[in-house]
Amino acid sequence: MPNTKPLHEMFELNEELPCSVEGCKNKRYKLYSTCLKHRQRVYKYGHPKALSISRKAMKAELKQVRNIVLKNRDTHPGLNKAIKWFDKWLLDASLEMSGVPGQYHFKRLYDHGISGEELLVVTAAVFIYSYRNPSKLPSDSKYKEAAVEFAMAHQTTKLIPLEYMTTASGKKRAKFLSKKDRSEIGKYIYDTVGLLYLKMVRSLDRKNDEQQTWKKEMQMDFNVA
């Protein structure tokens, strides 16, 4: 039987319930399962618990990805294909071809001289960071990988100067990627080159394990009896 209650009554009933995010003491917002604060995080970052990631926070990951690219640019076929894929995306956007994800934003990236390699480095760094910091870019059955997808899209905006718009009151305000663009761009990257980025994660983990094993073996006691 359909719910015949007026919308404002449904709002009032739902807003009496606690936010579904564990540990949050706020009440729910409208008909959402979370409070307004966590709903805004879903809109901005793809997950109610996700946080904004600064370039400084990813300093180690950026350095590691640049090193991987430098050492494998001429020999790894997957890496080369991924860079060419980003380059084609940029070119298609610059030509204003239809059906290009984030066409307007990627045209701006192209116009500012951003290369496919630069896009690969920053988005791979986000991917690796998400594995190392799951509390900041969480994933679960409901929101899946939206947090890392949104973060990858968001970091591409930091490669070029912000664009500004003039409001009706005459004030200047920065223009950010829409939720649709963040989702579309991030998912396109994740679904296309996510396996390559996962291999980077595993290769870095293996190298770290080898270094730890080396250190342990160097510290083993000698039999001197």
Q: What are the tens digits of pLDDT across the range 83-102?
A: 999 999 999 999 999 999 99
| Number of domains the chain is built from | 2
Its pTM stands at 0.86
Q: Which domain covers residue 29, as residue numbers?
A: 1-34
Domain identity same for 64 and 174: yes
User: Considering the domain boundaries, does residue 212 fall inside one?
Assistant: no
User: Considering the domain boundaries, does residue 123 fall inside one?
Assistant: yes
The crossing angle, in degrees rounded to 10, of helices 59-72 and 77-94 is 110
Would you say residue 198 has pLDDT above 60?
yes
Domain identity same for 16 and 91: no
The confidence band for 222, taking pLDDT boundaries of 50, 70 and 90, is low
Q: Among the listed ranges 23-27, 133-137, 210-214, which one has the minimum average pLDDT value? A: 210-214
Domain identity same for 21 and 128: no
The crossing angle, in degrees rounded to 10, of helices 179-218 and 146-157 is 100
User: Considering the domain boundaries, does residue 223 fall inside one?
Assistant: no
Looking at residue 102, what is its pLDDT? Answer: 96
Domain identity same for 188 and 149: yes
172: three-class secondary structure by DSSP: strand
The confidence band for 45, taking pLDDT boundaries of 50, 70 and 90, is very high
Domain identity same for 10 and 68: no
User: Considering the domain boundaries, does residue 169 fall inside one?
Assistant: yes
